[in-house]
Structure 1
Amino acid sequence: MVNKKLLTVSLAAAMLAVTASACGGNNDNSNGNSGNSGNSGNAASNSSSPEADDKTPVTFSYYSFSSQKDTLASDTVIGKELQKQTGVDWKMEFLVGDPQTKSGVMIASGDYPDVIVPEGEIDKLLDAGAFIPLDDLIEKYGPNIKRVYGPYFDKFRQADGKMYFLPFGANQGYIGDPGISQGAFWIQRSVLKEAGYPKIKTLDQYFDLIKQYQEKHPQVDGKDTIGFASLAGPADSFFSITNPSMHLAGYPNDGDVIVDMNTHEAKTYAATDIEKKWLQKLNEVNAEGLFDPETFTANKDQFLAKLTSGRVLGYFNYAWQVGDATNNLKKAGIDEKRYAPLPIVFDENTKDQYVDPPSFVNNRGIGISVKAKDPVRIIKYFDNLLKEENQVLVQWGVKDQNYTVDANGRYVMSAQQIADRNDPEKKRTIGWQYFEYSWPRYGNNSVLADGNAYGVGNQPEVAYAGYTDGDKALLDAYGVKTFSEYFSKPDERAWYPAWSINKGQGTPEQIFQQKAGDLQKKFVPKLVLAKPSEFDSIWNDYVGQMGKLDVKGYETFVTKVVQDRIAGKW
């Protein structure tokens, strides 16, 4: 139900419409100082702490509840440079298996790493007392933390008034994204090309086009063509198959609710007519042989392999979920097998809202655990990371190697540098994969003090330089210059995103969300894969089961928080 990770703002993610590949997501369009002005740079960079020059070698442990290859930070170019500055290295480990099981084991044993990126397990770990408060450390050792996060402090303090983690992004100024780096209905470009680049807006039009193409091209390289798929096999990605309901109805990703723009009332959409319309369509296309049943069982690597194979004609996912596959497709140089994003809605009169409005996500971040060996060294590392030159490092890389600065002071990239920024293996060896997102950082849409975009993909010069001939032909066919232009601009939502509302552990809201999510995981596969004649009876059972939960109580809770946020009370 809830998208638990924000998109990264790497070139691979922010230009995903171009490369068919934050969150990253997500993911985080943190808003702060609005407008297109830059931030104050390193006005607070120099710490007066007597321990500021301590560079004694030390290795701390870093654990993230996201999927990635384990590494030693110093084995990357970025990690090595940060180690030279601070003496600090990191043993970085990532989730394997079920996140709830892993957090439960951590809590039961009390065996915590030095820092934790808890993702969707954040409330559980906060309630278990896994993190130390950061307030005093920030006050004494965090001038850059205060510079970057200061305007947002009150948005992520906990009930006791203290801060236990630093969120992934606080915008410094604002610049929009020329690509689509969040959710969309993606379609293989060959489908659009063969149909003469038609304008596709509704769900029926989308699947009709896919059906026509699949009938003409039932196989790719000797294997059956797949009409439509999604990454809903991993438990933490099931939202990929449930979230489309709200997008199709004209809402952005507020998680498991939609919020009325006039009354600001939050309503769940699980087991409602909105979800029924979506799932009944999937049931229909499944009966026609267009739907991939492995959507519900394939792991991430298996799903990405299908996308890379060129067999999948359409899918719904968030850009940050599929970056490796889409970057590999671009690297292969076969434009027609790459994907284009479409702002699909239920009917012609619905305004799409796929593009995130400016926002601040206050329930994802990185915290220092109660078992940390040296919290002072760690908070200083965080503070050093937030110096503007290091924020440039983690996004752009090394000057004159990964990017250059032109005569006008603009950051630019050559074709090879763009290719390297998109290459999955280069992203790992240079360190973008490990440092561009899940650390203290500027928001994705930030503007640097010199006027350049913080996010590589948001830099207009780089975005345009990264377009292939196929990209340009596709954009020309639709009369636009960037992929985001044929999506509607986001309406302002002061509360956004509602999915970031803290529910706590063991609260009525958290219990409702868990039980509602369990019911979706039980019934959605049945509804999609059932015979059409069985759909209504399964649906009625699903609605009945959902009706036993306190839906009204949950909606009342979310509505109150939404309205509080609108009033400035976070």
Structure 2
Amino acid sequence: MKRKLFVIFLSCLLLLSLAGCKEKTNVSSNKNPSSVDDKTPFTFTYFNAGFSKKNIDANQTRIGKIFEEQTGVNVKMEFLVGDINTKIGTMIASGQYPDVIFPDAGIDKLLDAKALIPLNDLIDKYAPNLKKLYGPYLDQLKTDDGNIYLLPSGVPQGYVPNPDIEQGAFWIQRRVLKEFGYPKIKTLDEYFDLIAKYKEKYPKTDGKPTIGFTALTYDWRFFTISNPPAHLAGYPNDGEVIVDMKTHEAKVYGNGEYTKRWLKKLNEINAAGLFDKEAFVSNYDEYLAKIASGRVLGFFDYGWQVNQALNALKEAGNDDLRYMPLPIVFDKNIKDQYIDPPSFASNRGIGITVSAKDPVRIIKYLDNMAKEENQKLIMWGIKGETYEVDQNGRYYRTPEQIQKTSNEEFREQFGFTYFEWSWPRGTGLLSDGNAWEPSRQPEVAQASYTEGDKKILQAYGAKVFSDLFAKPDERPWYPAWSAPVKQGSPAQIYQQKKQDLQRKYFPKLVLDPPSKFEKNWKEYVKEYNKLDIKAFEDEITKYVKMKVEQSKK
């Protein structure tokens, strides 16, 4: 009798064990779910729609290989070639997606197509490091249905100002400033007058025509030519709106006097032979190559977007052909606001698609990446190789390490280029008090300056380049462009039609003879005012006021 009871007891234990195993295997979705400690070889596919880089397997880089050793996971990385809307549209039409995607401006289309899976349960069950990294921002990542579909890069962990300019600026070639004794220029008129004087004096660069001013208009990057009016008027990059500091009302400026003044100036410099005739037809790579060639005297852009060309010029070693960022405004009495205040953009990030074969292995890979020691690896590299630590625990780089980590070929091989953005990562301060990004560590910024950098900073009475720019005013909503605008809503339709309208009219407004400017502008504004501007302004104002109220809690 005892033996029979013992057998029954063992049978129950076995059944309970099997039931427990069955429960565990169902938690990650129904697609070949993995156990919690699985480190068997696994590869997932990743597509980045925001950047153009060469396709690569992550384990071909130093960082990717280390992550593979830690997790057993490799990543097959693919980057955008051509038009983002065409690429995303093809995916949606076929129903076939990469396992993981950084959709950038294509996010609304993917959400509308239900191409991304909710991450809430995966984060709760498998991602303690992601929960720690995103902390109080997790609720802000939720869409209207309560789900989290994206994990953004750059989640704030305190605020550290950047010694250099990674955001917007009017860039001018240093040889122009040098030629005229490093004049202090503040207004748009002064900026273009200086460029005109130099181009007249030196019409050619290395035997080719010198380009006075170029602009980036390609694909979703069109904002590089549509955003300057707000910056020139003394506002930061809130996208398509200017937000009143007192009422927190958001108003579009695409049909207003600031935009007219900007385009009229471009029209004038075009008539004077200063504007790049290819600006409205060049793609992103051609634009970068043009700047890296040293033929361009000036342009407006965001440091992060043009950094590849700026690094190439630095590596070439001719400081005269490098660029100086300036906080140019319309009038001398305007306080510039180019430098971003503390911010968190929740409408860009990385997501797992419905095609993913094993969401658990993927979320665990992302969670491993979120560990602080791996965040240091992604941003700083390896102690003794790409950075050092002084007796006070401060991170720094030797001149040799600065040179090495600025080299694009090394950055690609090590993996900085592939991992430092578009993946889960923080910004601000690490737990030991060092800056998350080396570029924000004053010791690194100042040590990385060339003799040419030091000379031009001294000429303008500055220690770092951001000293030339005004400190940012507090804007709890910033950036307003991160407001979630639902696909197919009146606000989203306004955005799309507005973009189409500007792509049609901006070339005419800039390239047509000055005698046609007023006629073209009136026609443009007439068409613009037919759009549902109020729906868009109301949507953004609602978001801004919500963020302001959140900041008071």
TM interval, short-chain normalised: over 0.9
The one of 203, 208, 233 aligned to 1:223: 208
The one of 430, 451, 465 aligned to 1:483: 465
The one of 541, 544, 550 aligned to 2:523: 541
Structure 1 length normalisation: TM-score?
0.89
The equivalent of 1:163 in structure 2 is 148
Paired residues for 1:57-72 under 5 Å:
57-66=41-50, 67-72=52-57
2:500 maps to 1:515? no
2:265 maps to 1:281? yes
SS at match of 1:293: coil
The one of 53, 65, 75 aligned to 1:90: 75
The equivalent of 1:552 in structure 2 is 534
Residue 298 of structure 1: CA displacement?
0.9
Paired residues for 1:249-268 under 5 Å:
249-268=233-252
The equivalent of 2:484 in structure 1 is 502
CA distance in 1, matches of 2:302, 2:203: 27
The equivalent of 1:111 in structure 2 is 96
After superposition, give the CA deviation of every residue in 1:451-478 in whole Å (9 maximum; x if it has no partner).
Answer: 1111011111111110111111111111
Residue 105 of structure 1: CA displacement?
1.4
| Preserved CA contact (<8 Å) 2:485 2:539 | no
2:135 maps to 1:153? no
C-alpha RMSD of the superposition:
1.3
2:347 maps to 1:389? no
CA distance in 1, matches of 2:40, 2:98: 20
Structure 2 length normalisation: TM-score?
0.92
Paired residues for 1:12-411 under 5 Å:
51-66=35-50, 67-232=52-217, 234-411=218-395
| Preserved CA contact (<8 Å) 2:379 2:437 | yes
The one of 458, 481, 486 aligned to 2:440: 458
| 2:236 alignment partner AA | P
| 1:384 alignment partner AA | N
The equivalent of 1:18 in structure 2 is none
| Preserved CA contact (<8 Å) 1:56 1:87 | yes
Residue 448 of structure 1: CA displacement?
1.0
| Preserved CA contact (<8 Å) 1:73 1:89 | yes
2:429 maps to 1:447? yes
Residue 51 of structure 1: CA displacement?
4.2
| 2:534 alignment partner AA | K
Paired residues, what number? 518
| Preserved CA contact (<8 Å) 1:157 1:163 | yes
After superposition, give the CA deviation of every residue in 1:362-417 in whole Å (9 maximum; x if it has no partner).
Answer: 10010111111111111111111011110000011122111122222221112221
Residue 553 of structure 1: CA displacement?
2.3
| 2:461 alignment partner AA | G
SS at match of 2:155: coil
Gaps of 5+ in 1: 1-49
CA distance in 2, matches of 1:471, 1:329: 13
| 2:494 alignment partner AA | F
CA distance in 1, matches of 2:98, 2:292: 35
Residue 566 of structure 1: CA displacement?
0.8
| Preserved CA contact (<8 Å) 1:124 1:504 | no
CA distance in 1, matches of 2:171, 2:104: 26
Residue 421 of structure 1: CA displacement?
1.6
Residue 532 of structure 1: CA displacement?
0.4
After superposition, give the CA deviation of every residue in 1:112-169 in whole Å (9 maximum; x if it has no partner).
Answer: 1111111001111112111111111111111111111121011110111111111112
CA distance in 2, matches of 1:227, 1:122: 36
| Preserved CA contact (<8 Å) 1:203 1:345 | yes
Name which of structure 1's ranges 487-496 and 161-170 shifts more when overlaid on structure 2.
Answer: 161-170
CA distance in 2, matches of 1:152, 1:553: 27
The equivalent of 1:430 in structure 2 is 414
Asked which structure has the greater RCO (Cα within 8 Å, sep 6+), the reply is 1
CA distance in 2, matches of 1:453, 1:51: 36
Residue 284 of structure 1: CA displacement?
0.3
CA distance in 2, matches of 1:352, 1:296: 27
CA distance in 1, matches of 2:518, 2:99: 51
After superposition, give the CA deviation of every residue in 1:482-502 in whole Å (9 maximum; x if it has no partner).
Answer: 100110000110111011111
SS at match of 1:294: coil
Name which of structure 1's ranges 279-288 and 235-244 shifts more when overlaid on structure 2.
Answer: 235-244
Rg comparison, structure with higher value = 2
After superposition, give the CA deviation of every residue in 1:413-458 in whole Å (9 maximum; x if it has no partner).
Answer: 1222111221112111111111001111112xx1111111110111
CA distance in 2, matches of 1:153, 1:451: 23
Name which of structure 1's ranges 418-427 and 216-225 shifts more when overlaid on structure 2.
Answer: 418-427
| 2:266 alignment partner AA | L
The equivalent of 1:472 in structure 2 is 454
CA distance in 1, matches of 2:79, 2:496: 24
CA distance in 2, matches of 1:304, 1:100: 22
SS at match of 1:185: strand
SS at match of 1:102: helix
| 1:131 alignment partner AA | L
CA distance in 1, matches of 2:122, 2:294: 51
Residue 254 of structure 1: CA displacement?
0.5
SS at match of 1:253: coil
| Preserved CA contact (<8 Å) 1:201 1:344 | yes
Identity of aligned residues (%): 59
| 1:103 alignment partner AA | I
SS at match of 2:494: helix
SS at match of 2:156: coil
